[in-house]
């Protein structure tokens, strides 16, 4: 527990609790708004029944805080329910209703080939999210302006609804042509389904994603429908077990939080809930420490998530995907690689050592967990080399070094390696997997990785940081206090957020400013209504406007901000100028002043923010620079394939003070994480308790 400053708060519910559920552990942080303290802990996740793990973790953190359920002021939750379902490809039987004549929309899809055309001969289009036999079409037609060309065919709509009801298909996505411009036909279809098939959970594209591009809108709607049953059941189970009236906010992919009711209505917004929370929390911590350009590296039991942060804000994208499924919604731009503590080491048919992406997860977990695991994992390698202790979470989880060594001996024999060489090789491969994820989000996007500082967190995120510094050539890394709970802490720093979009395609010299102003006003009214319902009325809410622009004939857009106030020609001209500049920054050229290349407007967007009161990060008392007070013990640790360090110093991080300097080889341990400091590296404690790790 570490004190933080807070404003005076009246008596009553005082605890704001962040709960981040991962594949292996559930991380919890409780902020006492009266005492100004943080209580930090972890609890095992329960993949078979995630709500059980949520409630067990909540009971644990309340016990440590010395409080009862009546002390809960609010809960912010990051969940991987939707993420894991999509990564596993477990989407169930979905029904799809579309406009007559467009039954094979999903089959046509897009021509985009992964990894460029060099591998196109080996690429097979992935399976459709809905097979052709579960697609029904209805008559009627709306054009791209929203005008009705043919009336809605109620008879075919009734037939489609009854067809799905007769076959027990209760999850349905509806995407009718050009419904972003006029949702009337989709709304009528929803009413027919409610009457003829009341058991169905339905997602409408005009509510999920009112943007043009029929394939992406259909896919996003179907992904929303696919995760809706599981997310709804999960949040309903939590609501039944919580005290009445406790507000529950769920982290969204765009870096904000929304009410549980909103998430149930549009669950696709949570597909990157957990990674987004970590990126936001790490961004705040790094900015507070004076580090504006960082690469966040969130390592868990199953994967490592990497994001770019510039100026204290994670980068956003609307071109993301989860697993094989595109999701065209605002989301923190995260690259995920299957390189976590539970990632399985295996031998390829060619005889090469591979690590991940498959994971042993929480159940059965690594060999050393003693829960029935049969395969060597990254955690087993760390344990065998002495980089982590034979106990985790302050002794709550006991590890079995003998089981880990036996597994490494067997795997090493297949590779003609000693157990130690095999373990070191596993960690080298895992480090390169993580480094490649960092390069995907930097080098491939024109960013120089050397301009950034790594921020490593999560239970396994800092175990390979020295290797990453060497591989990537970054100047150093920052490890926040309680790194295993950074994502849960991030949930306490996240504002309420609402995003709305509307397609409005028009060339710049033909803009109808009155129409654009009306659309922005309507989107602003929707945003204001949502924020007001959550206590952010009037000046308490912040609204911003933006637009997606492109050169006429381009297939993709660039987002630029719009000035606040009424949309008028001067505002449009400034946006077009900003687009030219942004295009040059992104692609190295623009067509400013060329009459042959006109600017085209595509989407209008409004984002609303309801700012919350954040915990203030405290300063750490200054020490004398000598970390001896924190020395726990010494043990044999192997940092590379060379000879082990027979007496590496092991320090207890909570006893370190500002200004302390630790020279590698050393190990720094705390409740939820371990930080190996390799020979030739130095770890320094800054004024906020962050570890600054760099080459000596």
Among candidate residues 540, 692, 517, the one with its CA nearest the CA of residue 620: 692
Structure confidence by residue, pLDDT tens digits, 364-391: 889 999 988 899 999 999 999 999 999 8
The SS3 of residue 607 is: strand
- Please give the structure tokens belonging to residue 161: 């609804």
Residue 87: pLDDT band with limits 50, 70, 90: confident
- Residue 457, class by beta-carbon neighbours within 10 Å (0-12 exposed, 13-18 middle, 19+ buried)? buried
pLDDT of residue 43 exceeding 60: yes
Tell me if 656 sits within 8 A of 630, measured CB to CB. yes
Q: What are the C-alpha distances in Å from 419 to residues 285, 406, 462?
A: 39, 8, 23
- pLDDT score of 387: 95
Q: What proportions of the chain, in percent to the nearest 5, are helix, strand and coil?
A: 35, 30, 35
- pLDDT score of 377: 95
- pLDDT score of 514: 94
- pLDDT score of 688: 93
Residue 64: pLDDT band with limits 50, 70, 90: very high
- Please give the structure tokens belonging to residue 180: 């972003």
Among candidate residues 478, 527, 32, 503, the one with its CA nearest the CA of residue 256: 527
CATH of the domain at 222: 3.40.50
Domain boundary among 163, 196, 228: 228
- Please give the structure tokens belonging to residue 643: 């000879």
Is 615 inside a domain boundary?
Answer: no
Q: Residue 561, CB half-sphere, CA atoms under 13 Å: how many?
A: 6
Tell me if 678 sits within 8 A of 670, measured CB to CB. no
Is 618 inside a domain boundary?
Answer: no
- pLDDT score of 2: 42
506 and 486 co-located in one domain: no
313 and 411 co-located in one domain: yes
As beta bridge partners, residue 20 has 27, 78
389 and 518 co-located in one domain: no
Q: What are the C-alpha distances in Å from 471 to residues 126, 166, 642?
A: 34, 58, 18
For residues 613 and 9, give the distance between their C-alpha atoms in angstroms, rounded to a whole number: 11
516 and 578 co-located in one domain: yes
For residues 598 and 289, give the distance between their C-alpha atoms in angstroms, rounded to a whole number: 44
78 and 103 co-located in one domain: no
Question: Over the chain, what is the mean pLDDT?
Answer: 89
CA-CA-CA-CA dihedral for 51, 56, 57, 63, to nearest 10: 150
Is 625 inside a domain boundary?
Answer: no
Is 518 inside a domain boundary?
Answer: yes
Q: What is the DSSP string of 84-121?
A: HHHHTT-----EEEEETT-TTHHHH-----TT-GGGGG
pLDDT of residue 334 exceeding 80: yes
Is 28 inside a domain boundary?
Answer: yes
CATH of the domain at 564: 3.30.1490
Structure confidence by residue, pLDDT tens digits, 459-477: 899 999 999 999 999 999 9
Phi, psi for residue 562 in degrees, rounded to 5: -115, 140
502 and 601 co-located in one domain: yes
A 10 A CB-CB count for 403 gives 18
pLDDT of residue 166 exceeding 80: yes
645-652 and 666-669 strand pairing: parallel
104 and 150 co-located in one domain: yes
- pLDDT score of 613: 77
Among candidate residues 435, 430, 438, 436, the one with its CA nearest the CA of residue 470: 435
For residue 622, the 8-state DSSP code is: B
Most confident of 38-52, 222-236, 324-338, 617-631: 222-236
Mean pLDDT, range 335-360, rounded to an integer:
88
Structure confidence by residue, pLDDT tens digits, 436-448: 989 988 887 788 9
For residues 306 and 70, give the distance between their C-alpha atoms in angstroms, rounded to a whole number: 37
A 10 A CB-CB count for 188 gives 18
Task: Give every CB contact of residue 233 below 8 A, 6+ residues apart in sequence.
Answer: none
Please calculate the CA angle 90-96-100 and round it to the nearest 5 degrees.
155
Tell me if 531 sits within 8 A of 612, measured CB to CB. no
pLDDT of residue 12 exceeding 80: no
Task: Give every CB contact of residue 548 below 8 A, 6+ residues apart in sequence.
Answer: 557, 558, 559, 601, 602, 603, 605
- pLDDT score of 312: 80
For residues 86 and 325, give the distance between their C-alpha atoms in angstroms, rounded to a whole number: 7
Share of the chain above pLDDT 70, in %: 96
Q: What are the C-alpha distances in Å from 640 to residues 81, 126, 417, 564, 645?
A: 37, 40, 14, 56, 10
Structure confidence by residue, pLDDT tens digits, 180-236: 999 999 999 999 999 999 999 999 999 999 988 899 999 999 999 999 999 999 999
pLDDT of residue 1 exceeding 50: no
A 10 A CB-CB count for 89 gives 12
Phi, psi for residue 336 in degrees, rounded to 5: -115, 135
144 and 212 co-located in one domain: yes
- Backbone CA torsion sign across 232, 235, 241, 246: negative
pLDDT of residue 115 exceeding 90: no
Is 264 inside a domain boundary?
Answer: yes
Element (H, E) at 2: strand 2-3
- pLDDT score of 187: 97
Domain boundary among 494, 511, 540: 494
Residue 124: pLDDT band with limits 50, 70, 90: low
Please calculate the CA angle 604-608-612 and round it to the nearest 5 degrees.
160
Going along 193-315, which residue ranges are E strands? 201-204, 248-251, 257-259, 293-299, 304-310, 313-314
The residue assigned the tokens 């209703």 is 97
Mean pLDDT, range 115-124, rounded to an integer:
51
In the sheet with 645-652, reading across from the earlier edge strand, the strands are: 631-637, 645-652, 666-669, 674-677
Most confident of 188-202, 309-323, 343-357: 188-202
Domain ranges, residue 554: 496-610
454 and 316 co-located in one domain: yes
Structure confidence by residue, pLDDT tens digits, 129-153: 999 999 999 999 999 889 999 999 9
The residue assigned the tokens 């010494």 is 634
Is 265 inside a domain boundary?
Answer: yes
646 and 671 co-located in one domain: yes
Among candidate residues 212, 209, 203, the one with its CA nearest the CA of residue 97: 203
Residue 83: pLDDT band with limits 50, 70, 90: confident
Between 273 and 667, residue with greater pLDDT: 667
Residue 338: pLDDT band with limits 50, 70, 90: confident
pLDDT of residue 328 exceeding 70: yes
Is 381 inside a domain boundary?
Answer: yes
Residue 409: pLDDT band with limits 50, 70, 90: very high
Tell me if 415 sits within 8 A of 353, measured CB to CB. yes
The count of structural domains within the chain is 5
- pLDDT score of 256: 84
Tell me if 357 sits within 8 A of 336, measured CB to CB. no
Domain boundary among 473, 494, 515: 494
- pLDDT score of 122: 55
CATH of the domain at 383: 3.30.420.40
Residue 123: pLDDT band with limits 50, 70, 90: low
Residue 5: pLDDT band with limits 50, 70, 90: very low
- pLDDT score of 126: 67
333 and 206 co-located in one domain: no
Q: What is the 3-state secondary structure (H, E, C) of 296-351?
A: EEEECCCCEEEEEEECCEECEECCEEECCEEECCCEECEEEECCCCCEEEEECCCC
**Range from 61-65, 451-455, 565-569, 572-576 carrying the lowest mean pLDDT:** 565-569
Share of the chain above pLDDT 90, in %: 60
pLDDT of residue 313 exceeding 90: no
Q: What are the C-alpha distances in Å from 528 to residues 285, 379, 418, 469, 607?
A: 29, 47, 63, 45, 10
Among candidate residues 251, 277, 424, the one with its CA nearest the CA of residue 345: 424
For residues 276 and 289, give the distance between their C-alpha atoms in angstroms, rounded to a whole number: 20
Number of separate helices (H) and strands (E) present in the chain: 16, 38
Most confident of 252-261, 336-345, 656-665: 656-665
A 10 A CB-CB count for 350 gives 6
Structure confidence by residue, pLDDT tens digits, 484-523: 889 899 898 888 888 899 999 999 999 999 999 999 999 9
Mean pLDDT, range 113-127, rounded to an integer:
56
Task: Give every CB contact of residue 139 below 8 A, 6+ residues apart in sequence.
Answer: 100, 150, 152, 153, 156
Mean pLDDT, range 25-40, rounded to an integer:
88
- Widest Cα–Cα separation across the chain: 81
pLDDT of residue 114 exceeding 90: no
151 and 213 co-located in one domain: yes
- Please give the structure tokens belonging to residue 466: 């020295």
């Amino acid at each position: 527990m570490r004190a933080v400053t807070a404003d005076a708060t009246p008596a009553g519910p005082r605890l704001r609790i962040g709960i981040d559920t991962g594949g292996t552990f559930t991380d919890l942080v409780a902020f006492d708004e009266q005492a100004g303290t943080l209580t930090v802990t972890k609890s095992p996740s329960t993949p078979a029944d995630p709500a059980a793990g949520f409630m067990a973790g909540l009971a644990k953190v309340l016990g440590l805080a010395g409080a009862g359920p009546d002390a809960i002021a609010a809960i912010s939750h990051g969940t991987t329910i939707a993420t894991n379902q999509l990564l596993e490809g477990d989407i169930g039987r979905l029904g799809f209703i579309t406009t007559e004549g467009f039954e094979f929309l999903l089959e046509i899809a897009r021509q985009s080939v992964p990894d460029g055309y060099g591998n196109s001969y080996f690429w097979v289009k992935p399976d459709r999210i809905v097979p052709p036999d579960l697609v029904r079409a209805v008559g009627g037609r709306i054009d791209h302006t929203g005008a009705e060309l043919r009336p809605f065919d109620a008879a075919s709509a009734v037939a489609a609804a009854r067809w799905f009801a007769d076959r027990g298909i209760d999850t349905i996505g509806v995407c009718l042509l050009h419904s972003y411009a006029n949702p009337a036909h989709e709304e009528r279809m929803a009413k027919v389904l409610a009457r003829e098939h009341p058991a169905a959970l339905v997602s409408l594209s005009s509510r999920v994603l009112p943007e043009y591009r029929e394939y992406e809108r259909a896919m996003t709607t179907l992904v929303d429908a696919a995760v809706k049953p599981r997310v709804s059941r999960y949040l309903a189970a939590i609501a039944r077990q919580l005290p009445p009236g406790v507000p529950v906010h769920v982290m969204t992919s765009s870096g904000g939080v929304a009410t549980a009711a909103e998430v149930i209505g549009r669950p696709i917004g949570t597909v990157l809930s957990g990674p987004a929370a970590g990126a936001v929390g790490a961004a705040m911590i790094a900015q507070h420490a004076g580090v504006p350009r960082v690469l966040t590296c969130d390592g868990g039991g199953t994967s490592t998530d990497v994001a770019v942060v510039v100026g204290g804000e994670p980068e956003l994208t609307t071109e993301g995907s989860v697993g094989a499924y595109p999701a065209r919604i605002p989301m923190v731009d995260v690259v995920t690689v299957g390189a976590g503590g539970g990632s399985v080491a295996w031998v390829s048919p060619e005889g090469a050592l591979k690590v991940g992406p498959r994971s042993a997860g929480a159940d059965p977990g690594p060999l050393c967990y003693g829960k029935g695991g049969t395969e060597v994992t990254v955690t087993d390698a760390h344990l065998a080399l002495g980089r982590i202790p034979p106990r985790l979470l302050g002794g709550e989880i006991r590890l079995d070094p003998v089981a880990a060594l036996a597994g490494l001996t067997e795997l090493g024999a297949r590779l003609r390696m000693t157990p130690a060489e095999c373990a070191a090789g596993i960690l080298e491969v895992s480090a390169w997997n993580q480094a490649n994820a960092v390069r995907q989000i930097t080098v491939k996007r024109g960013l120089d990785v050397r301009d950034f500082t790594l921020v490593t967190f999560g239970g396994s995120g800092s175990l390979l940081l020295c290797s990453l510094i060497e591989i990537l050539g970054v100047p150093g890394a920052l490890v926040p206090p309680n790194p295993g709970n950074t994502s849960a802490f991030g949930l306490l720093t996240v504002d309420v957020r609402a995003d709305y979009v509307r397609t409005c395609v028009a060339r710049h010299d033909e803009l109808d400013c009155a129409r654009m102003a009306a659309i922005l006003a309507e989107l602003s009214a929707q945003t204001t209504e949502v924020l007001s319902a959550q206590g952010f009325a009037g000046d308490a809410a912040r609204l911003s406007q933006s637009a997606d622009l492109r050169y006429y004939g381009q297939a993709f857009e660039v987002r630029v901000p719009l000035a606040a106030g009424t949309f008028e020609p001067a505002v449009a001209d400034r946006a077009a100028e900003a687009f030219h500049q942004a295009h040059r920054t992104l692609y190295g050229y623009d067509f400013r002043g060329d009459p042959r290349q006109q600017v085209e407007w595509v989407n209008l967007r409004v984002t609303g923010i309801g700012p919350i009161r954040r915990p203030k990060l405290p300063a750490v008392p200054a020490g004398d620079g000598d970390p001896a007070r924190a020395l726990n013990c010494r043990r044999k640790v192997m940092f590379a394939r060379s000879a082990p360090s027979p007496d590496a110093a092991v320090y207890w991080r909570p006893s370190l003070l500002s200004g302390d300097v630790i020279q590698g080889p050393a190990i720094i341990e705390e409740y939820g994480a371990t930080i190996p400091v390799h020979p030739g590296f130095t770890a320094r404690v800054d004024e906020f308790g962050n570890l600054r790790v760099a080459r000596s």
